[in-house]
Amino acid sequence: MNQHQDLRAVAPVDLADPDTYAQGIPHDAFAELRAEPGLSWNQTEGFWAVTRHADLVEVSRDTGTYSSESGHIQIYDIDDDALAERASMIDLDPPIHTRLRRLVSSAFTPRHVEAYQAAIRRRVQRCLDDFQAGGGGDWVAAVAAPIPIGVICDLMGVPEQDHQYMIELSDHLVAGTSAEPLDPGAYGNTTDLRLLPFNSPAAHGIFEYARELGEKRRAQPRDDLVSKLIAAEVGGERLSDNEFTNFFRLMIFAGNETTRSAMAHLGMYLAGHGDQFDRVRRDRSLLESAVEEVVRYSSPILYFRRTATRDTELSGTAIRAGDKVVMWYAAANFDETVFADPLSFDVARPRVPNNVAFGGGGAHFCLGASLARIELGILIEEILDRRLFFDVVAPPVYVASNFVNGIEHLSMSVSTPPKGQS
Amino acid sequence: MSLQQWTMTIDTDKCVGVGQCEMLEEEVFYLDDDTGIAIVVGSETLPADRADAVIDKCPSGAIGKTR
């Protein structure tokens, strides 16, 4: 160890340990880290922890200094051959990233997602009908999971009967970031796990599914993203099998897990912050800021990592070329210098400055942000229109992961006020 | 003093087609569906407050203003 390293402030908790997130976001630990000067150093995995809003935005926007391509976007390092195997636009820097992203970006702009409103509303209504009919149940299985996967699968062109399979694969993919042991041969996998995204055999299942669907769409194109990706050319060349299957995997994962987490947490907030939703019920102009608050408060993605491409400095801390720099969105979203009284859930919170749940800006800003906002907005609207009230029946079961702030199960009861009462 | 009008610009290397600009100022910006990049359409200009708001809202920092 050199002198530089000896002076590093060490985090009060191990941010790399999945158990740190077993009860949700470790707010106290993040507050301590934000209060410390400079960046703190995680000794277990060897990374700089970025926890303040301003620092995170700086890292996020400077893709030249903080690379997604050299190294890995998750905390643990992987071999170069494994990196190449799993590369999708999220693991690449401009200009390659930009070319890939532009293949699909137009499907996710606010103008385009407006057009999906009616279909999304039908999905939301169906899920709420079922949930109400049973007087409640597992909010995640009944509402939070099926809505986002249904929406992204519609966009991709995955037929309805396969949506449940996509949920299962996506869940097992995330299991690769928890301490759970994985069966390397699951889904007929024969690939060395270290070569697979999240080191998970479920990635093999997703790749196989993508290939099959891709073949169908190559033969008979439809108006969906898989058809578009199969036909797309980047720099005069078709996407390789590896590029296509990873693209599909990324879209299924990102379109599924993140919005699902936000919706799962929304269930908790509906039960615990009913007064806040009453405000939105009375004043619908608060819907937009309420959606942003759900996204901020839930911070579905806990972190993404970058790797420094050169010696640099951030918040007074010297960073060396090759150092891992980890952006803790779940910490920056509660930065008390940016969000007044950050731990209070406030549907009227000003939207500027932006929370960083969709990223701190720059090339990797969440592609699905507009889609997620519209899905959450419709779900909240429908709940308010139906005058639904929720109670949490059993404590939520969190996903033990250092990467996603997920809820596995949330048992809730639902009721409507007796007729004539308001 | 009259309000200063600004002509908007797009840095096409930075634009990743999020589409916030088009939502905020549809008379000025348009997302080209073929390229996935925002373009400035027509000769519309924006007053300083609206120009700054749309610059601020662009997550990739691709929007600029010029006289």
Task: Kindly report, residue by residue over A42-101, the tens digit of the pLDDT.
Answer: 999 999 999 999 999 999 999 999 999 988 899 988 888 888 887 888 999 988 898 888
Tens of pLDDT, residue by residue over A139-190, are 999 999 999 999 999 999 999 999 999 988 988 887 666 656 778 888 888 8
Helix, strand, coil content of chain A in percent (nearest 5): 50, 10, 35
Contact (CB<8Å) B31/A106: yes
Say whether A370 and B18 touch across the interface (CB within 8 A).
yes
Using omega within 30 degrees of 0 as the cis cutoff, is the peptide bond preceding A201 cis?
A: no
DSSP state of A404: B
Question: Do B59 and A365 lie within an 8 Å CB cutoff?
Answer: yes
Q: Inter-chain contact B56–A106, Cβ cutoff 8 Å?
A: no
Q: Where are the alpha helices (DSSP H) in A22-68?
A: 27-35, 53-61
pLDDT tens per residue across span A357-411 = 999 999 999 999 999 999 999 999 999 999 999 999 999 999 888 999 999 999 9
Nearest CA in chain A to B19: A109
In whole angstroms, what is the distance from residue A36 CA to residue A51 CA? 10
Does residue A332 surpass a pLDDT of 50? yes
Quote the CA–CA distance of A364 and A34 in Å, as a whole number. Answer: 24
pTM: 0.91
* The pairing of beta strand A40-42 with beta strand A9-10: parallel
Amino acid identity of A104? V
Token pair 């029946």: residue:
A393
Nearest chain B CA: its distance from A57 CA (Å) = 10
Q: What is the pLDDT of residues A246-277, one digit of tens each?
A: 999 999 989 888 999 999 999 999 999 999 99
Give per-residue pLDDT as tens, B16-57. 889 999 989 999 999 888 888 899 997 789 999 999 999 988
Between the CA of residue A226 and those of A229, A245, A251, A287, A372, what are the distances in Å? Answer: 5, 10, 10, 33, 20
Any idea which residue has 């009721």 for tokens?
A: A415
Which residues of chain A make contact with B16, given a CB cutoff of 8 A?
Answer: 98, 101-102, 105, 363, 365, 367
Chain A residues lying within 8 Å of B31, measured CB to CB: 105-106, 109, 111
Q: According to the model, what pLDDT value does residue B50 have? A: 94
- Please list every residue in chain A whose beta carbon sits closer than 8 Å to the beta carbon of residue B59: 358-359, 361-362, 365, 369
What integer pLDDT is reported at residue B1 of this predicted model? 42
Q: Which residues of B touch A370 (CB under 8 A)?
A: 18-19
The alpha-carbon gap from B8 to the nearest alpha carbon of chain A, in Å, equals 19
Whether A8 shows a pLDDT value over 60: the answer reads: no
**Given this model, what pLDDT does residue A179 score?**
59
B12 min Cα distance to partner chain A (Å): 10
**In chain A, which residues have their Cβ closer than 8 Å to the Cβ of B23?**
109-111
As a residue count, chain B comes to 67
- Is residue A6 pLDDT above 80, yes or no? no
CA distance B62 to chain A (A): 9
Percent of chain A with pLDDT over 70: 95
Task: Determine the residue type at A198.
Answer: F
Cis peptide preceding A18, ω within 30 of 0: no
Alpha-carbon distances, residue A360 vs A21, A26, A58 (angstroms): 22, 20, 8
* ipTM above 0.85 for this complex: no
- Return the H-helix or E-strand segment holding A260: helix A241-272
Among partner residues B18, B35, B56, which is closest to A365 by beta-carbon distance? Answer: B18
Give the H or E element holding residue A213: helix A202-219
> How many CB atoms sit inside 10 A of residue A111's CB?
15
Q: Residue B34's pLDDT is what?
A: 80
B31–A109: do the CB atoms touch at under 8 Å?
yes
Give yes or no for A288 touching B (CB within 8 A).
Answer: no
What three-state secondary structure class fits A370? Answer: helix
Strand order in the sheet with B46-47: B46-47, B5-10, B63-66
CA distance A313 to A347: 36
| Residue B17 DSSP label | -
A120 Cα to chain B: minimum distance (Å): 20
The reply to whether omega before A95 is within 30° of 0 (cis) is yes
pLDDT digits (tens, 9 = 90+) for A378-393: 999 999 999 999 999 9
| Residue A250 phi, psi dihedral angles, 5° rounding | -65, -45
How far is Cα A206 from Cα A165, in angstroms, rounded to an integer? 9
pLDDT at A248: 95
Residue A73 to residue A67: CA distance in whole angstroms: 9
- Give yes or no for A115 touching B (CB within 8 A): no
Is the pLDDT score of A314 beyond 50? Answer: yes
Q: Answer yes or no: do B31 and A365 touch at CB < 8 A.
A: no
Token pair of A359 as six digits: 């990223």
d(C-alpha A180, C-alpha A203), whole Å: 16
Which whole-number Å values give the CA distances from A183 to A19, A150, A166, A322, in the listed order?
A: 21, 27, 18, 33
> Measured between CA atoms, how close is B3 to chain A, in angstroms?
24
Nearest to B16 among A111, A352, A365 (CB): A365
Helix axes A274-282, A241-272, angle to 10 degrees: 100
Backbone angles phi and psi of A65, in degrees to 5:
-85, -35
* Nearest-angstrom CA–CA distance, A59 and A65: 8
Cβ contacts (< 8 Å) between A108 and chain B: which residues?
19
**Tokens linked to A45:** 């995995």
Which among A94, A102, A358 is the nearest to B36, CB-wise?
A: A102
